Amino acid sequence: MKHNTFAWIEIPVSDMDRAIKFYETVLDIEMKLVDFGGLQMGWFPFDEDADSITGATGTLIKQESYIPSQEGTLVYFHSEDVQVELDRVEAAGGEIYQPKTQISPEHGYMGVFIDSEGNRVALHSRS
């Protein structure tokens, strides 16, 4: 295989400004707001020069057919230490769904939160 399986991820939002502020705060990143003729997207940072083996990137998206949800597919963000981002969730307007939990010694840790829009989102770290 010459690339990772996933190419793109879209996270539904109801309030783009609120969602961008939430993710910028929790992940300590800067996002880019893009408007494609009324279709609003909040792009997560990405390396345009990186090969596809490094992982998928994605966006927040606001469109009538995209409905935030705690059910369904679970997206995991990479982290150096899951606890760092989890510690920012509540102050940013989200809630902790599952605290930092060891998956196994060889697979590291995970944590899950509900974002400002009502989506269930996860984090993964080796430590």
Longest C-alpha distance within the chain, in Å?
47
Q: Give the number of domains in the chain.
A: 1
CATH code of residue 85? 3.10.180.10
3-state percent breakdown (helix, strand, coil) of the chain, nearest 5:
20, 40, 45
In a domain, 1, yes or no: no
In a domain, 3, yes or no: no
Q: Is the pLDDT at 17 greater than 70, yes or no?
A: yes
Question: Is residue 36 included in any domain, yes or no?
Answer: yes
Expressed as residue numbers, the domain containing 51 is: 8-125
78 assigned to some structural domain: yes
Tell me the three state secondary structure of residue 119: coil
Does some domain include residue 80?
A: yes
What is the structure's pLDDT at 3? Answer: 67
Asked if residue 114 belongs to a domain, the reply is: yes
* Residue 21 located in a structural domain: yes
Residues in Cβ contact with 25 at an 8 Å cutoff, skipping those fewer than 6 apart: 88, 91, 92
For residue 51, is pLDDT > 70?
A: no
The pair of three-digit structure tokens given for residue 8, joined into one six-digit string: 């793109």
- What percent of the chain shows pLDDT beyond 90? 81
Has residue 16 been placed in a domain?
A: yes
- Residue 6, pLDDT score: 78
CA distances to 45, 104, 120 from 73, rounded to whole Å, are 21, 22, 9
Q: What is the pLDDT of residues 61-114, one digit of tens each?
A: 999 999 999 999 999 999 999 999 999 999 999 999 999 999 999 999 999 999
